[in-house]
Chains A and B, each alone.
Chain A
Amino acid sequence: MIMTKKYTSYKIKKSSFIGIKKHWQLLLFLLPGLIALILFNYLPMGGILVAFKDYRIRDGIFGSDWVGFANFQKMFTGMEFPRILKNTIVISFLKLITSFPAPIILALLLNEIHNSKIKKCVQTISYLPHFFSWIILGNIFTMLFSIEGPVNSVLKMLGLNESIAFFKSEGWFIFLLIVTNIYQTVGWGTIIYLAAISGIDNSLIEAATIDGAGRFKQVIHIIIPTIMPTVTTVLILNLGGILNAGFDQIYNLYNPTLYNVADIIDTYVLRQLSENNYSIGTAVGLFKSVVGLIFVFATNKIVNKLSDDEMGIM
């Protein structure tokens, strides 16, 4: 028994050594990528140590003193963290319940358009916002929704007496975030669902038609069940980003008067960076990464349980 065990482990070692020698070219191919991954992905993970230290620029990461969980304690008992956490979750949740179903509905409606020219045209236009940065979009939206902008002009024409200050009122600003987020994501989001719908076997639809099912029933009983796995996958990925309230969007639309509702984890971390509060900033960032990781795994597990391992992504 023992002999065989020894023999096999020896064999594995020898064969993997031969493998390295034989396939050195392939290993060389990996090298540039590996170096980049180590330098820019794994070294920063090591830099998380800063969260457990009292970081001083002069002393560097290794020279600064260990403080254990003091930074986290400071974070949870501080005034600002509850506010940014609440803002992040509220904005993210509101975006999820609006921007997650929107592309599903749009894809179902697009699928019912039989005039291929109109369909193609609407699709092409709706993908456009996906290709521009939030600096450009934010800039366009600040013009559109300004006091003198066309949105307020239209509201005035419709008989509204006072113009709406979208960038001063907290409620309207959140509304603006939700609407512009749908605008940017809805068209692009349909692609994955339209691909799933196009995979439906036509004979299923024909059989349903012969059995007397109307179009509406076909959608309910054939199309929606077919896209369900895609829907859950997208939902899991979205839930993993629950603490991503959309830094790019908010950073390019908000102003200090809106911090009360619009200051989120990422904007806060960026401010800590510019104010040299590295330790607190890292602690908050680490909190965000860990929660995100937990959310992906937990949602995946729940979906797997509920669907007997048929859905889920891992």
Chain B
Amino acid sequence: MKRTKGEKFFSIFNIFFMICFGIMCIYPFLYTLTMSLSTTADSVKDGLHLFTLNPTLESYKLALENENIGIAYFNTILRTVAGTFAALAVSLLYAYALSRNELPGRKIFSNILIFTMLFNGGTIPTYLVIKGLHLLDNRLVYILPGLISAYNVIIARSFFKSIPESLHESAILDGASEFMIFTRIYVPLSKAVIMTLVLWIAVGHWNAWYDSLIYINDEKKIVVQLLLKRMMDSAQTQMVDTIITGDSIAIMPITIRSATTIIAMLPILAIYPFIQKYFMGGVMLGAVKG
């Protein structure tokens, strides 16, 4: 294929632009990582902090000394594991039922679900309901409201629909119950989609903090994201205090702050290669089948 001068010039410019773009995307994370490994003296120097000459794990040690971080981490892991499993089960069952044409009232059950994508009660009415159900300051509040999401059900349903009908028919002839067909045929055949949903829901749980902010008062029950936010906020106010009082002690050095951030990011970074593969697939499914 012959390329004009203009096209060649564009091609070189484009690659250059993309490399710059890529560096800009990764830089904030690189900066945080470098800061978390720097000594306090190095961290306050001017510059980009692309690397550090005296790496140290001191900040991580200090960050982990905070007694609340262990509990908060545990709460997050608990909600992620239990919440993902529960939400997956509920969503898949709902999706399977909706994927069957013979389901009585299928249209109604589908609309009940889809309407929740368009309209919701809002923060305060939801809060009042949660309060009425005695879920305030209860860790179940992390799991129950997120049991079903329209988007996940739609994706699972379209996949179930693509499974040949003859499999279902022959299983029925063999005397299998719907539950057996669901667990022995549909679930094993949908591994890829289920993996996508698992990662999707799990990342959502790992990153969630709003529920912890408004429904939980007990400091022993908050999630790690919110703990991070609280630490930042108190560092900010203490900084203002030290400016007002003329005290020169920095309460929360940027190094410890970075280390805590990295600790909260770690699990996502660890599963990022898998996320890549499966998340994308899910987006395509959603885009193609809507």
Partner-B contacts on A (CB < 8 A): 16, 19-20, 22-23, 25-27, 29-30, 32-34, 36-37, 39-41, 43-48, 50, 61, 106, 109-110, 112-115, 118-119, 121-122, 124-129, 131-133, 135-137, 139-144, 148, 150, 153-154, 156, 183, 187, 191-192, 195-196, 209, 214-216, 230, 248, 252, 255, 266, 269-270, 272-273, 278, 281-282, 285-286, 288-289, 293, 296, 313
The answer, among A110, A115, A148, A273, for a CB contact under 8 Å with B44, is A148
Are A154 and B209 in touch, CB under 8 angstroms? no
Q: Are B228 and A135 in contact (CB-based, < 8 A)?
A: yes
Contact partners of B118 in chain A: CB under 8 A: 293, 296
In the complex, the answer to whether B133 meets A140 with C-beta atoms within 8 Å is no
Cβ of A281: which chain B residues have Cβ within 8 Å of it?
123-124
Task: Report which of A143, A144, A156, A230 forms a contact with B287, defined as CB distance below 8 A.
Answer: A230
Q: Does B276 contact A (CB under 8 A)?
A: yes
Among B21, B96, B121, B236, which residue has the most Cβ atoms of chain A within 10 A? B121
A234 nearest in chain B by CB position? B287
Residues of A near B90 (CB, < 8 A) are: 32-33, 36
Instruction: Give A44's nearest chain B residue, CB to CB.
Output: B121
Contact A139 B19 (CB under 8 A): no
Q: B22-30, B62-70, B77-85, B188-196: which one contacts chain A?
A: B22-30
B95-139 residues with Cβ-Cβ distance < 8 A to A are 96-98, 100, 102-105, 109, 112-113, 116, 118-129, 133
Bound-state CA distance A230–B283 (Å) is 13
- In B245-276, the 8 Å CB interface with A consists of 254, 257-258, 261, 264-265, 268, 272, 275-276
A142 touches B232 (CB 8 A): yes
Q: Specify the main secondary structure of chain A where it touches its partner.
A: helix
Closest to A198 in B: B284
Bound state CA distance, A41 and B120, in angstroms?
7
Contacting residue for B103 out of A23, A122, A137, A288, CB 8 A: A23
A30, A47, A286 — most chain B CB neighbours (10 Å): A30
Residue contacts A-B, CB under 8 angstroms, 15 given:
A32-B89, A40-B126, A40-B129, A47-B129, A113-B14, A113-B15, A113-B18, A129-B25, A129-B28, A132-B268, A139-B232, A140-B28, A140-B31, A142-B232, A150-B48
Q: Which residues of B contact A27 (CB under 8 A)?
A: 97, 103-104
Fill in one digit per residue for B39-72: 1 if any A CB lies within 8 Å of its CB, else 0. 0000010111100000000000000000000000
Contacts A34-B112, A143-B32, A214-B7 given; indicate if A109 touches B17 (C-beta within 8 A).
Answer: yes
Cβ-defined contact, A115 with B283, below 8 A: no
Neighbouring A residues of B126 by C-beta, 8 Å: 40, 44, 47
Give the residues from 132 to 160 in chain B that come closer than 8 angstroms, CB to CB, to chain A.
133, 144-145, 147-148, 153
Contacts of A139 in B (CB 8 A): 228-229, 232, 257, 261
Closest to B3 in A: A215
